[in-house]
Amino acid sequence: MTTLTWEDTQALAEQAPSATIISACRQQKAQVVYAEHHTSTTVDSTDLAYPDTRNTLLPASGQFFTEEELTVANSVAVIAPTVQRHLFPDNINSVGETIRNGCRGIACNAPTTIA
């Protein structure tokens, strides 16, 4: 299977003037863990345009990651409500908490802070 690279996405943005929004996204299945709680989910490694391209609402609490976080390659996660319920069943505010993921590739088993 052939996939586009990050550089391909940037070239498309520059060379396709009729495209109004272009976003890169890499999906992986992963087990995410907080304390003794864990769940399987899909992890999307993406860029700042992701919410607009997917017509995704901003998180109910916290924020989507910032350009600065992306530039310095901070490990930041925006978690979906289902993942929130599985990892934080006591309804604690997860913003700023650190989770671990077991996906292969970028940030493998790295602690990730919730934005």
pLDDT in tens, 21-78: 888 788 888 888 888 999 998 888 788 887 787 777 666 677 777 888 777 777 778 8
Instruction: Kindly state whether residue 21 falls inside one of the protein's structural domains.
Output: no
Look at residue 104 and tell me whether its pLDDT is greater than 50: no
Provide the domain count of the chain: 1
Within-domain flag for 7 = no
Q: Flag whether 20 is in a domain.
A: no
Q: Is residue 82 part of a domain?
A: yes
DSSP β-ladder status, 76-77 and 37-46: unpaired
The vertex-39 CA angle with 35 and 45, nearest 5°, equals 100
Residue 1's pLDDT band (boundaries 50, 70, 90)? low
Domain that holds residue 76: 26-114
How high does pLDDT run on average in the chain? 77
- Residue pair 84/92 in contact (Cβ under 8 Å)? The answer is no
| Residue 55 located in a structural domain | yes
- The pLDDT assigned to 72 comes to 77
Give residue 75's pLDDT: 77
pLDDT per residue over 15-31, tens digit each?
888 888 888 788 888 88
Smallest Cα–Cα separation from 105: which of 29, 35, 40, 38? 29
Long-range pairs for 77-85: beta carbons < 8 A, 24 or more residues apart: 77/101, 77/112, 77/113, 77/114, 77/115, 78/114, 78/115, 79/32, 79/114, 80/41, 82/39, 82/41, 83/32, 83/39, 83/41
